[in-house]
Amino acid sequence: MSVHFPVYIFNHVAIFPERFWPKGIFVNWWVIGKGGKISKSKRGAEPVPNLLERYTADGIRLYYVHLASPHDDVMWDEAIAENYRKKVEEIYKTCQVLLDITRKEVTKRTNIDKWIISRINRTILEATRNMEKYNIREAAHEIFFELHKDILWWLKRGGRDPGTAKYILDK
């Protein structure tokens, strides 16, 4: 903390205009495993490159934000981390399907297209409200789980409009 936080702030101040400076820093309490606190000194910490190889950077980020609470320790569980890695892969595959749809001939927007656009806009509003209140877990849940389910539902119900697919990807 004595090095990372000041450098984080200094870099933002040096690179970005003031409106993009950090408004706060969110920190979890301890990361604990089955045997208690995980740390280098207790020999429970695995080197970051090994974690990245096994779970991917995005999988680990999703793990932490979805379990984030400003008042609780984070329990590290390899099986759960593996599930988050798989979730990121599922979302990536869904984005590939959406990208393929954007390359197709334009169709007429249907009620199911209007529905998903409404769901996207609602999710943006809810996630923004949650982030402003530091309810990071709720925001992550809305974005990575509920919205993904909505997109899969849109596809299952015949969503194939290229303009709608582009809207989903843009948002």
Prediction pTM value:
0.77
Taking 60 as the threshold, does the pLDDT of residue 40 lie above it?
no
CA 25, CA 34: separation in Å to the nearest integer?
Answer: 27
- pLDDT > 70: what percent of the chain? 82
Report pLDDT digits (tens) over 17-39: 999 998 877 666 666 666 555 55
The average pLDDT across 7-25 equals: 89
CA 97, CA 104: separation in Å to the nearest integer?
Answer: 11
Backbone dihedral angles phi then psi of residue 29, each to the nearest 5 degrees: -70, -135
**What pLDDT score was predicted for residue 145?**
97
Q: What's the CATH number where 98 sits?
A: 1.10.730.10
Taking 80 as the threshold, does the pLDDT of residue 13 lie above it?
yes
**What pLDDT score was predicted for residue 152?**
98
Domain containing residue 49: 4-170
The average pLDDT across 108-121 equals: 97
Q: Nearest to residue 68, comparing CAs of 128, 122, 130, 6?
A: 130
**What pLDDT score was predicted for residue 27?**
67
Q: How many domains does the chain have?
A: 1
Report pLDDT digits (tens) over 115-160: 999 999 999 999 999 988 888 899 999 999 999 999 999 999 999 9
